[in-house]
Amino acid sequence: MGIAVQSLSKSFGDHQVLRDISFSINKGETTVLLGSSGAGKSTLLRMLNLLESPDQGTLNIANMEFTFHKGQKPSPSSASAKACQLRRKVGMVFQQYHLWPHMTVLANLMEAPVQQGISKAEARDKAIGLLERMGLPDKANAWPSSLSGGQQQRVAIARALMLSPEVLLFDEPTAALDPAITNQVVEIINELQASGITMVVVTHEVDFARKIASRVVYLENGEIVEEGTAERFTAPQTSAFKSYLQH
């Protein structure tokens, strides 16, 4: 099994951003979380690697289970140790790339795996291989700020892949990129899908979603309005999703 989420809820103060979310994703699928801004899709994605913690609900991901009860906080240290374990299996790619600016591309890629016990030589070989795969073989020693947005995004994807994650999460990976560059990200995601990795992608761009999705989850105001296979793009079942697809 890939990911199963059971009755997740989350509030920020009085504002409930997610209510009673349940869905499951099979291994190797690419699921798009679609919705307009404020629908709660980014918060939901960030819960999948516990960058946000749910108020209540159950999360099953990468063979680990996390249960949250309202008003009851798990002890921070054990919770964070388990969260670290989880995040090594669930990679994340951010909208603004989040590369460390003071480290070269190669150092960005090697830092986490070397900390986690892989030898420097092995990490280096893997990094060079991934940069080649991302079409950036000559950028190993470049500073992130010298790269274009699209290049930085590919470095960020390579960095996430360094830990060989079972699941890869993308938070609006194309929102900061121009349309021509978006297609490079589409190609990379489709190539990764062929390699069998489970992906969850948050976006509000319908065209981008169509090109990559094998499943779609459409959210509005913190609730799932529609979910199903990629066929829902051509045959939406709810009027809300239908009208979202049209604009």
Partner 1 sequence: MNLEYLPELLKGLGTTLELTLASLFTGLMLAILFTIVLSLKVRTLNWLVRLQILLFTGTPLLIQIFLIYYGPAQFDVIKSSIFWPWLSQPWFCAMLALALNSAAYSTLLFKGAIDAVPKSDWEACMALGMTHRQALLRVILPHAARRALPAYGNEIILVMKGSSLASTITLMDLMGYAARLNAQTYDTLTVFTMAGLIYLAMTGILTLLIRFMEHKALAFSRS
Q: Where are the alpha helices (DSSP H) in the chain?
A: 41-48, 76-89, 105-115, 120-133, 149-161, 179-194, 206-212, 239-246
- Shortest reach from residue 122's CB to partner 1, in Å: 17
160: contact with partner 1 by CB under 8 A:
yes
The CA–CA distances, whole Å, from 71 to 11, 18, 43, 129, 153 equal: 12, 16, 19, 46, 38
- Shortest reach from residue 112's CB to partner 1, in Å: 4
- Shortest reach from residue 156's CB to partner 1, in Å: 8
Answer whether 221's CB lies under 8 Å from 35's CB: no
Residue whose tokens read 């030589």 = 121
Answer whether 23's CB lies under 8 Å from 5's CB: yes
- Shortest reach from residue 139's CB to partner 1, in Å: 12
**Binder of partner 1 out of 78, 141, 145, 195 (CB under 8 A):** 145
Range 54-83, binding partner 1 (CB under 8 A): 80-81
The residues, any chain, with a CB within 8 Å of residue 48's CB and separated by 6 or more, are 3, 5, 59, 61, 90, 167, 169, 200
159: contact with partner 1 by CB under 8 A:
yes
Name the one range near partner 1 by CB under 8 A: 141-149, 173-181, 185-193, 208-216.
141-149
The residues, any chain, with a CB within 8 Å of residue 62's CB and separated by 6 or more, are 86, 89, 90, 166, 167
Given the complex with partner 1, which of 130 and 216 has the nearer CB atom?
130
Structure tokens at 148: 């274009």
- Shortest reach from residue 92's CB to partner 1, in Å: 4
Residue 24 parent element (H or E): strand 15-25
Structure tokens at 117: 């016990």
117, burial (CB in 10 Å: exposed 0-12, middle 13-18, buried 19+): exposed
Write the interaction track for partner 1 spanning residues 162-201; mark x where CB under 8 A is met and - where it is not: -x--------------------------------------
119: contact with partner 1 by CB under 8 A:
no
Given the complex with partner 1, which of 10 and 232 has the nearer CB atom?
10
**Binder of partner 1 out of 37, 96, 148, 229 (CB under 8 A):** 96
Specify the DSSP class assigned to residue 160: H
Write the interaction track for partner 1 spanning residues 33-52; mark x where CB under 8 A is met and - where it is not: ----------------x-x-
**Binder of partner 1 out of 27, 69, 70, 102 (CB under 8 A):** 102
Site residues for partner 1 per CB under 8 A = 49, 51, 80-81, 84-88, 91-92, 94, 96, 98-103, 111-112, 115-116, 142-146, 159-160, 163
